[in-house]
Structure 1
Amino acid sequence: MEPEMSRSKAAARIRAAAVAEFAEHGYGGTTTRQIAARLDLSPAAMYPHYRSKEELLFAISYEGHRETQEVLAESDLPGEQPVVRLRSLIAAFTRWQAAHHALAKVVQYELGALTPEHYLTVVEVRRSITALFRSVVEKGITTGDFDSPDAEGVTLALMSLCVDVCRWFPAGAYTDPDAVATLYADLATRLVGAEPATLG
């Protein structure tokens, strides 16, 4: 069941305030009163838009996953060699995690707070994202461009690598999402064991 995503400015402001609170204090450590206070509203003023804190989290999580899915669709290069396609996807995925690190942190690490029904809805989108990456890895293995015996394991490693960016970004010398995107595209190339000939 997809959430009925309100496009009103008020609902968008509530989601933004909730992302900031959830990212800073965690879902469990945040109350609707705190979210409302950030907007100088009463908790009752949030109710017409979101009936519960969990419903608000669901809207944020679903929206974040769908936005990621759209970014990846725009960045995919189906006609290119597997390594070129993988680098483009990894760079886009990593860049989104860094550029939207507060939202990504909520999206990636608060799934367990969703109701079973809402969790399954979000996980369906999440699985489609993983399936996209796995299809590219499998293609590279089939063509011989990638030197890896385990498409599933490599895919999980790639996804974990990118998803974790939101936990630490920004840090040290890495304050530019584009720089992290380039770094992770290089790391992904090495992780799949891409043949040197495919990198030219």
Structure 2
Amino acid sequence: MGRVTAESTRAGERILAGLDLWAEWPTATQRAIVGAALESFAERGFHGTSLKHIAQGSGLSTAALYVHFASKEELLFALSRRGHTIALELVRAAAVEPDPAAAMRVLVYSFTRWHAEQRTTARVVQYEQGALTAAHAEVVAELRRDTERVVRGLIDRGVAAGAFTVPDVRGATAAVLSLGIDVARWFVPGGPWTPDALGLLYAGLAGRMLGMPA
């Protein structure tokens, strides 16, 4: 069934509750540095951000930053890797549901909500990738490929089970992921949509796009 159920939203909420963006940085100092870098990258862009901006935002000296991170590119990489790891953990958690239709509803609902609720992080990790070194960019690219493989595998499973009618699985995979990712670009808190409402809407849209019964 393509209808989004209360069970789907509860499952999505459980997945989201288990994701901790900041788990990789256990100390208050590390979190202050990464948080300041995130805010500056979002406000000024990577190239417009200096280590001085990050130091000021974190309340530390520029020299103190080097104890934890060698460069602002390393900070961007840490954020990008963590953000993409979270996305991969999310889709994997949703895809374990045996029923492919239910799994897809949970996946799209939670993926969309995460990109709305963590829009600042999502914007930075999606739109500043060009500033990463080639080696770091490849690490992030592999995480993206892993995420795509999980979603594509779920769609393949749904097609095989007769739950989805999809003429182009690769294209459908890109479309499902793009629905959630693009939310980070335009979502504004206090606007006409809440993260929950968007998650419900997009889960329903994805169901229709994949040919799930109403």
Higher relative contact order (CA 8 A, sep 6+): 2
Alignment gaps of 5+ in structure 2 = 1-23
* Among candidates 13, 27, 46, match of residue 27 of structure 1: 46
* Among candidates 114, 117, 141, match of residue 99 of structure 1: 117
Distance 1:27 1:191 in 2: 36
Partner residue in 2 for 1:42 = 61
1:107-135 Cα shifts (integer Å, max 9, x gaps):
11111111111111111111111111111
Distance 1:169 1:85 in 2: 25
Cα shift at 1:6? 4.7
* RMSD between superposed Cα atoms in Å: 1.5
Partner residue in 2 for 1:186 = 204
Is 1:122 aligned to residue 140 of structure 2? yes
Is 1:141 aligned to residue 159 of structure 2? yes
Distance 1:193 1:30 in 2: 45
Misfit runs of 4+, over 6 Å: none
Alignment gaps of 5+ in structure 1 = none
Distance 1:74 1:85 in 2: 9
Distance 1:24 1:139 in 2: 41
Cα shift at 1:173? 0.6
TM-score if structure 2 supplies the norm length? 0.83
TM-score if structure 1 supplies the norm length? 0.89
Provide the identity percentage. Answer: 42
Cα shift at 1:136? 1.2
Letter in 1 for 2:63: A
Verify the 8 A CA contact 1:147 1:195 in the aligned structure 2.
no
Is 1:52 aligned to residue 71 of structure 2? yes
Partner residue in 2 for 1:169 = 187
